[in-house]
Structure 1
């Protein structure tokens, strides 16, 4: 969500169109256009949505801002895997903007600038469908494009890639701004009262909203949040039993006074990767095969989850002292050619050899979490990771880093009841003693057993949601019925 790191570059790739196969009896007049975001965590759920639409017999085209705009190799790789592994999808890279991109700017203003510069390209692409477009689904960070879709008279929807609680907070925050007499930054840990949500410390909001209200960052974030309810409907990557209370609140007029909240469709959980990262099975899975059931603590902090050298040493000491098996994916804070052993306490790797595995590179997170040996998950609380932990039925330890992760953490520890918090993140350093203690709590204590039981219950709920007659299948059906009810429709001036 907001605040994810994106590296921009002016280098553009040529526009490419990949052939598609129309499923079922529907014609190209039943094409749904998806307009995904420019980060892995926003792109992957949209591709999973594409698969669900294909299963319902719709033709799906994906409009892409050139992946080269994002300097992250992982993003370009996942786009390439989606193209290679989903031949039924039609991928179209929008022509690059003729204007120079704003390369040196904070994340949100830069992101919105990129999207805005491609509005005309998106419009031209939509107009190229001579038999019309059934609907357009845009990423929640690309809501400015909703205006383009509206002017063409095409039904417009948002894919919200975080949970329902984050959505409820995001749509209310712009109006809350008019009510508070101090800035969110000045409120500090003072609780915010938002409809349908428990009190939340202002300090746990998006980092962009803790900036000066006159700053470009702050204004851009508010603009992005305000635009979400302008859609005809919002698809959320969650499932109803996980967020039932919040979903009910989103349907209450008190949630968004003075505005109309569009229908919310809980269509998740969309979890796991796209295509195959490698031909060979990852070494960490082979290592897990040799470990006892539910015995391994898995630590992974997402693509932006690098820690300082000091923090890495504290984690290493805590894991060693806990006595538990662990699989630790480390984000290297320095260059790839630096000796990683030098970052750890002397002899740490030797002393934990056999019961611990440390890797620097990518691992198939969903597969690791679903492995029988995995017993707990230390996570940065990115929503995709939360859902992968939930669908695996694994209790979690929360270590939020950026974006809406602090908000997700409150939900995981509170209403969901599947996690405990590493409180040291608030001080900027989680010390070894806390790492040791929290690992033992989740793996050894009665509290940990309760977390595990609730995680197992949510796992079952996730499974039921996508079974025949499940809530997510029903939500997809309601969404498509709403789309169909808006056809035929007089298109706007093209």
Structure 2
């Protein structure tokens, strides 16, 4: 071990006059990669003498193709260099797991030797200042410690969710039940009381492998040189204060520095990065009145059954509101699609008979994808029905568009509590026990968002936060100040 460190320091000293490098290590899903790239771009904006190196892991399951996105970034930002790590082959017993999180953790666990080699290789030509890991990549911290590089975490969700993971080991000690069966409100510092069943989905079942992996990652967080969070001070001030004051960890466990440098969002999401044609949906929005359209979009993994799609359609039709709706194929159909490509949905088959004709004067249904940031920032859009993945939340905040929160997976139910009760920029979509939402609820919430006093109240709050988000990223803003402190910390490291 000491010999490895000596070799590494020899590399570092030999290259002390060459360019500094920051190495980023995202987990495989494209949403996490996009967040890491935006972090890299932000570092370059504030610290242009750096080069950014991103370690790319092949996902262990069928996922959105990241190659066009990576090619686009490489073409536009040559200071970001991608390193494709060798593909990890999982044993058959692992790949039978239906859980994306478990598969991801297993690949990342086996990835450490590749990460070690990559860091040594990069250090041949650069001085590695910091190694910044996705929360999923917590086991990579041991590699950073082994090579004496300051290791940081980049938490791609909000500070409230970070508080829940910092608190998870204590929650684990205080009960022997699964969170889904606990049926209680959890007191997590800095956030409203959280129903135990609204904790992030992968930690709901105690004897599940994903729970064990998330618990292990949670114990890694305090061991890092710092935690970078994609949020900003005025969006989650109470949660940020609770974490910084050490309230989320036991008294004998020091809290690492917290750097809130958001909102970092993907500002130019044209599909594939190379098409200059204006998407049809943006042209359609040009013809709609200001603030009149509700946009429905549920992320790359947000898939609904045919029955649920028909309920959404019925609710939208009865609401009388203008809408732009992105429809993807139901999961059973998607699973039979070849990995090479995505088949667009058959709208006539999936949606109620005559729906498209009856609503053509006030609605547009888009197949599979829309440029979400561009849509949210269009003057005609006045509301957003979203799964509330954190990237989408920040995009809505930066566009000043209020939300109807319809969580589907990951930490989205937790986000709904934060958005509705703490930040107050969302209305909740209420589902039945099996997760189904009927047409009446869709109609009610869409109307409420677009045409009620409560909808107007959260709209004003969201527009105020839009200004605060811009201020946070300005020269003297809280996120810029936090970033300066981050750079100082890794320079000292």
Q: Fold conserved (TM > 0.5)?
A: yes
Per-residue displacement from partner, 1:368-387 (whole Å, max 9, x unpaired)?
Answer: 00000001000001000000
* 1:22 alignment partner in structure 2: none
Using the TM superposition, give the Cα deviation of residue 49 of structure 1 relative to its aligned residue in structure 2, in angstroms: 1.1
- How far apart are the structure 2 equivalents of 1:75 and 1:434? 36
Deviation string, structure 1 residues 271-328 (Cα, Å, up to 9, x no partner) = 1256742221111001101100000000001111111111111111111111111000
Please tell me whether the aligned partners of residues 344 and 368 of structure 2 are also in contact (alpha carbons under 8 angstroms): no
Matched, 1:104 2:101: no
Greater shift, 264-273 or 78-87, is seen at 78-87
Q: Following the alignment from structure 2 to structure 1, what is the Cα–Cα distance between the partners of residues 89 and 312? A: 47
Q: 2:58–2:88: 8 Å Cα contact kept in structure 1?
A: no
Q: Does 1:280 align with 2:266?
A: no
TM-score under structure 2 length normalisation: 0.89
- Report 1:238-253 matches (<5 A): 238-253=231-246
Deviates more, 1:306-315 or 1:129-138: 129-138
The counterpart of 1:417, out of the listed 424, 435, 440, is 424
Cα deviation 1:330-368 (Å, max 9, x = unaligned): 121136476321222221111101210001221110110
Q: Does the aligned pair in 2 maintain the 1:288–1:373 contact within 8 Å?
A: yes
- Structure 1 distance, partners of 2:70, 2:136, is 18
The unaligned stretches of length 5 or more in structure 2 are 1-15, 335-342
* 1:410-489 to 2 correspondences below 5 Å: 410-424=417-431, 426-486=433-493
2:5 is matched with none
Q: How far does the alpha carbon of each residue in 1:227-252 deviate from its partner, in whole angstroms, 9 at most, with x for none?
A: 22221101100111101111110012
Contact 1:81–1:275 (8 Å) recurs in 2: no
Q: Number of aligned pairs?
A: 459
1:46 aligns to 2:36 (yes or no): yes
Instruction: Supply the distance in 1 between the matched residues of 2:95 and 2:70 (Cα, whole angstroms).
Output: 22
CA distance in 2, matches of 1:36, 1:157: 12
Bigger mean CA offset, 96-105 vs 33-42: 96-105
- What is the RMSD of the two structures over their aligned residues, measured on CA atoms? 1.9
Kept in 2: contact 1:65–1:118 (CA 8 A): no
Q: Which moved more, 1:166-175 or 1:48-57?
A: 48-57
C-alpha distance in structure 1 between counterparts of 2:100 and 2:394, whole Å: 25
Which segment is superposed worse, 421-430 or 393-402? Answer: 421-430
Q: 1:193 aligns with which of 184, 187, 194?
A: 187
In structure 1, what is the equivalent of residue 340 of structure 2? none
Compare 307-316 and 91-100 and name the one that shifted more: 91-100
**Unpaired runs of at least 5, structure 1:** 1-25, 487-494
1:204–1:407 CA contact under 8 A, matched in 2: yes
Once the 2 structures are TM-superposed, how far is the Cα of residue 401 of structure 1 from its aligned partner? 0.4
Q: Is the 8 A contact 1:32 1:58 kept in 2?
A: no
**Which residue of structure 1 aligns with residue 210 of structure 2?**
217
Which whole-Å CA distance do the structure 2 matches of 1:340 and 1:275 have between them?
24
Confirm or deny: 8 A CA contact 1:36 1:62 kept in the other structure. Answer: no
Q: CA contact under 8 A between 2:130 and 2:151: conserved in structure 1?
A: yes
* Corresponding residue of 2:133: 138
| Alpha-carbon contact 1:44-1:274 (below 8 Å) kept | no
Residue 275 to residue 324, structure 1, CA distance change in 2 (3 Å): closer
SS of 1:95's equivalent in the other structure is coil
Question: Partner of 1:158 in structure 2?
Answer: 153
1:33-60 per-position Cα deviation (integer Å, ceiling 9, x unaligned): 1112211211111111111221212422
**Structure with the higher fraction of residues in helix conformation:** 2
CA distance in 2, matches of 1:377, 1:426: 24
Matched residue, 2:338 = none
Whether 2:367 is the aligned partner of 1:360: answer: yes
Alignment of 1:351 with 2:351, yes or no, is no
Q: Distance in 1 between matches of 2:398 and 2:41?
A: 19
Match of 1:21 in 2: none
1:108-119 equivalent positions in 2, closer than 5 A: 108-119=101-112
SS at 1:456 equivalent? helix
